[in-house]
Amino acid sequence: MDELKNIAPELSKLEKVNPFRTPDQYFDDFSARLQMRIEAEKQTVVPQKNRFIQFLKPALGLAASFALIFLLVYVPLKTFMPGQENTVAEVTETEDLNLMNVIEHLDESSFISLLNGSDYNTDFTEEDLTLYVSANFNDYEIFENLDN
């Protein structure tokens, strides 16, 4: 190697030997050891997912998103406003019970009067009565009732 003789004459005089060696049979066994490593790597590769799951994956993803949104809205609403709905229910229930209680303690005539409600009015004058009688009854009917 003329190049080396010119640059480094002392180095070029050295006998070029390989001072390194390998364990016995190293190169005979290497290929088999490497093959074992490759096989191990092949087995650790994630297997291909079921095609059915792959097909459903977009729909499942969409459903999961809706469920998540529902939970994110519904749970806080239920947590932070729990009293409103129950109060309405309780008030309605109490009013019904009171009404039933009142009705059960009424006699028949009072119940009928209660049903007639605002139509039943006892505050009428003598003049109103005269007008009502003269408008609805003739003289003979009035005379006959007076006799009874």
Partner 1 sequence: MPETDQKIIADLKDAGKRDLAFHVLVKTYQERLYWHIRKMAMNHDDADDILQNTFMKVWRSIDSFREESSLYTWLYRIATNESITFLNSKKKKNLMSLNEDNEYLMDNLMSDPYFDGDEIQIKLQKAILRLPEKQRIVFNLRYYEEMKYEEMAKVLETSVGALKASFHHAAKKVEKYIRNTD
Under the rule (CB under 8 A), what is the footprint of partner 1?
Answer: 1, 3-4, 7-11, 14, 16-23, 26-27, 30-31, 33-35, 37-38, 41
SS3 state of residue 42 = helix
What is the CB-side half-sphere exposure of residue 147 using CA atoms within 13 A?
A: 6
Q: Closer CB to partner 1, residue 32 or residue 146?
A: 32
| Closer CB to partner 1, 14 or 59, in the complex | 14
Least CB distance to partner 1 at residue 16 (A)? 7
Instruction: In whole angstroms, give the CA distance from residue 63 to residue 74.
Output: 16
Minimum separation from the CB atom of position 54 to partner 1 (A): 22
- 106 contacts 113 by C-beta, under 8 angstroms: no
Which is nearer to partner 1, 42 or 105 (by Cβ)?
Answer: 42
**114, 106 in Cβ contact below 8 A?**
yes
